[in-house]
Amino acid sequence: MKPTKQIHQQLIVLCKKNDPKAQMQLYKLYCNAMLIVAHRYVKDRFIAEDIMQDAFIKAFRKIESYKNEVPFGAWLKRIVINQCIDHLKKNKLELVSINEEVYKKEDEQDWQVECTISVDGIVNVIKSLKEKYRLVLSLYLLEGYDHKEIAQVLNITENTSRTHLLRGKKILKEQLKNTSYAEGY
């Protein structure tokens, strides 16, 4: 049974008082979803689990800063994503800045995907992309970040974010075509 918003808020209040039982309940409510988020960014499931757990520790330490302005899950998800990106940066992920002349607007109308493909199918193909494309595609398409936010998080220019998105989508489209998931002209 899904907890009510009132129970949810009570758990958060108890977590702010450093109540271990409430922390464990909140962890159990969100751990699976946050693991999925972490696994989108780091391919190794064990590393994703470590990152997710570190994110929970960080969230519980900083829970006083949670002001109920956004749903708790969204607040926690942002921490998980930032932990993933920090991990990737520590492991010398190179996000190369690209010259502005490379950027061109792709015609969005030639992006057609058959309705038979599942979200999981697309996510799995995204996971197979190079890190720079995978990160930008995940942040933009799956998490709803805009180019300004992506640029700040990844420490790249907005133009580089757009270029990585366009190139990543092009590669994704080709891979989906090759696996007969998509049709393009």
Q: Alpha-carbon distance 176 to 115, whole Å? A: 12
Average pLDDT, the chain: 79
Average confidence (pLDDT) over 49-59: 93
- CATH number for 100-183 (one of 1.20.1440.230, 1.10.390.10, 1.10.10.10, 3.40.1390.10): it is 1.10.10.10
pLDDT at 107 over 90: no
Q: Is the pLDDT of residue 21 over 80?
A: yes
| Residue spans per domain, the chain | 5-90, 100-183
Question: Is it the case that residue 100 has pLDDT exceeding 80?
Answer: no
Interval 140-147 mean pLDDT: 84
Nearest partner of 55 among 78, 39, 72, 79, judged by Cα: 79
- Asked if the 5-90 domain carries CATH number 1.10.1740.10, the reply is yes
Parallel/antiparallel/unpaired status of strands 112-113 and 182-183 = antiparallel
Task: Enter the pTM of the model.
Answer: 0.62
Query: Which of 25-34, 58-67, 103-112 is predicted with the least confidence, judged by mean pLDDT?
Result: 103-112
Q: Give residue-wise pLDDT tens across range 110-141.
A: 444 455 666 677 777 887 888 888 888 888 88
Q: What was the pLDDT predicted at 99?
A: 39
Distance between CA atoms of 111 and 181, rounded to whole angstroms?
Answer: 12
Chain Cα centroid distance, residue 128: 15
Element (H, E) at 112: strand 112-113
Residue 79 has a pLDDT of 93
Cβ-based neighbours of 104, under 8 Å, separated by 6 or more: 166
Segment 8-35 mean pLDDT: 91
pLDDT the model gives residue 180: 56
Q: What single-letter amino acid sits at 7?
A: I
What pLDDT sits at residue 86? 87
